[in-house]
Amino acid sequence: MALNQKVLQKKRAKKAEQRKASKNQARSASGILSFSREWAASAQAPIADVLVPKTLFDTGMGNVWFSRQCADGRYALSIFLVDTYCLGIKNALYAIVTPSDYTARLDHLRRSFGKDFEREHPAYARKLVERAVAYARDLGFDPHPDYHIAKVIFGDADATACPTRLAFGRDGKPFYVCGPNDTPTQQRRILKQLEKRCGSNGFNFLIMDDHDPDSDQVM
């Protein structure tokens, strides 16, 4: 009889855990759906800040910041880590944050990179990011998966309204610079793809042992 009671208690505990897990999944799904709606709506909010590194095409790597202020005072923010030399969008971040969090992130950006960032027209930022994606795709490299959600921030910004001509690669060729998080396997895969697409003399690369990690990170 005691044994049966223990079995019954275990079954009840298991069912309780299953109900709890089911509720948590429902809350998670509801939260994701709510954020998706907010994120889609934020693309219509007034633009707050559009910042691009002045030296982006000289260094080949940098963060493009694009934000909008929502009706409730919060900020919708996307940051794209752009590799203008080869890989396009290496990383992407998107979030809806409070005003205090937004200010803290912006201050961190300016402390980390000084006066390198300058305000740009939304059309220029969108054109820059999308052309970087197109350049990399032509070489055989897809953008970071989160790019597809982060790009929603562009909303009605019209890339075709930007007359600036953009030249990717360096000295007319793709130039792969190994990042601090690129594993040897990734390096080989990238170099193999470049050789397949461009030929052995159609690209350049640089593998560094002491790469500055701060230059290859999204905030």
**Residue 25: per-residue pLDDT:** 46
Lowest pLDDT segment from 91-95, 101-105, 212-216: 212-216
For the segment 148-179, what is each residue's pLDDT rounded down to a tens digit? 999 999 999 999 999 999 999 999 999 999 98
Residue 89 contacts residue 132 (beta carbons within 8 Å): yes
**Per-residue burial over 155-172, b = 16 or more CB atoms within 10 Å of its CB, e = otherwise:** bebebeebeeeeebbbee
What is the C-alpha to C-alpha distance for residues 70 and 75, in angstroms, rounded to an integer? 6
Q: Which of 153, 148, 24 is nearest to 97 (CA)?
A: 153
The whole-number average pLDDT for the span 11-16 is: 62
Residues facing 205 on adjacent strands: 176
pLDDT of the residue at 172: 94
pLDDT of residue 219: 47
Percent of the chain topping pLDDT 70: 79
Whether residue 211 has pLDDT greater than 70: no
> Mind listing the pLDDT tens digit for each residue in 19-51?
555 444 434 445 567 788 999 999 999 999 999
* Beta sheet of 47-53, edge-to-edge order: 88-97, 75-83, 61-69, 47-53, 117-119
Token pair for residue 31?
A: 């939260």
**In the prediction, which pLDDT does 116 show?**
82
- Distance between CA atoms of 83 and 62, rounded to whole angstroms? 7
- Positive or negative: CA dihedral 41, 101, 110, 135: negative
Residue 139 scores a pLDDT above 60? yes
Residue 42: other Cβ atoms inside 10 A:
23
- pLDDT of 83 > 90? The answer is yes
d(Cα 102, Cα 97) in Å, to the nearest integer? Answer: 6
pLDDT at position 58 over 90: yes
